[in-house]
Structure 1
């Protein structure tokens, strides 16, 4: 499944009732969770026992692939975040709706791919140890390119900061376009210029 070796395949359901009971979810959380998620199955375990060519990493000893059958495509991402926080393991989620799937992974924040046909979806495992394999999957799902010798966590923080600055610039550019007073227009221009310098 998802291009993973047969040796990694598992089929174990995680009953939602057990999740509710174990993690003491309140009624609002349960209703929201139930509105989005129909069923959760562990479908693969990636570890040295299932792929002998891989060694344990310093951080990642193993990780799981969870097949999550969704009741709707426009789901609440809070429920995926909730799953990633409740289960203290490294996990890749394959969120399936009808014949489409979207991969999701949590690494300092939640990343998702675009929806794609189930038959074409694959999770490439590249690296010699599980730390590297995990980081490469995060980069793949999050479409992250590492620059300037950054670590993955530093690059994620950098990308977030850049996105915030670009959003601020877009807001100020709209205000500047609608501003009638030349003095205020100039102020907006100077603020935009300073923000752009931070990006470079």
Structure 2
């Protein structure tokens, strides 16, 4: 399943009613969760016990793969973040809808892969320990290429910061082009200089 060894496979249902009662979700959270998600199953556990060739990492001791059947193609990230907060484990979500699968996990924020046909999705197990394997999985799902000296998580934060700065620059440039008052236009250009400097 998803290219993982058969020794990792398990099939344990995670009923929504259990999630609601155990974690005492508010009515709005339950409704939002129920509107997106049809069923959740724990389908694999990757740990030194299930894959003896992998050593335990400092950060990652094991991780689970959850098969999440969706009611429609788009699932709110809040629902998955809720599961991440409620279940204190490293989790990968295989979001399934209409014969396609999209992988997701939390690494400083929810990251998602592109939708792919169900049979073609693979989760790479490359590395000597679970820290390295987890970083490789995060990089492949998020299409992240860490620069030298940065971890995958640091690179995601850096990419997010860069994207926000680029968006701010774009907004300010539009404002500066449409501004009629010379003094205000000058102030906007000074702000732009600062943001562009930060971008470097």
The interval holding the TM-score normalised by the smaller chain is: over 0.9
- Which whole-Å CA distance do the structure 2 matches of 1:148 and 1:49 have between them? 32
1:49 aligns with 2:49: yes
Partner of 1:42: helix, strand, or coil? strand
Ranges of 4+ aligned residues in structure 1 off by more than 6 Å: none
Kindly report which structure 2 residues correspond to 1:155-166, keeping only aligned pairs within 5 A, or say none.
Answer: 155-166=155-166
- 2:112 aligned residue: 112
SS in 2 for 1:43: strand
How many residues end up aligned between the 2 structures?
200
Alignment of 1:23-172 (within 5 A): 23-172=23-172
| 2:95 counterpart SS class | strand
TM superposition score normalised by structure 2: 0.94
Distance in 2, Cα, partners of 1:69 & 1:47: 24
Structure 1 residue 54 displacement after superposition: 0.5
Pairwise CA distance, 1:67? 0.3
User: C-alpha displacement at 1:180, in angstroms?
Assistant: 2.6
* Counterpart secondary structure, 1:12: strand
Q: How far apart, CA to CA, are the structure 2 residues paired with 1:124 and 1:177?
A: 48
Matched residue SS, 2:10: strand
Relative to structure 2, which stretch is displaced further, 163-172 or 185-194?
185-194
CA distance in 2, matches of 1:187, 1:10: 61
Q: Distance in 2 between matches of 1:115 and 1:182?
A: 49
Deviation at 1:55, TM superposition (A): 0.7
Post-superposition offset of 1:154: 2.7
Gaps of 5+ in 1: none
Counterparts of 1:138 and 1:148 in 2: how far apart (Å)?
A: 16
Structure 2 residues without counterparts, runs of 5 or longer: none
SS at match of 1:69: strand
Query: Do residues 15 (structure 1) and 22 (structure 2) align?
Result: no
Deviation at 1:148, TM superposition (A): 4.1
- Give distance in 1, aligned partners of 2:90 and 2:49: 16
Superposed CA RMSD: 1.4
Summarize the alignment of residues 179-194 of structure 1 with structure 2, pairs less than 5 Å apart: 179-194=179-194
**1:176 and 2:176 are equivalent in the alignment:** yes
Q: CA deviation at 1:66?
A: 0.3
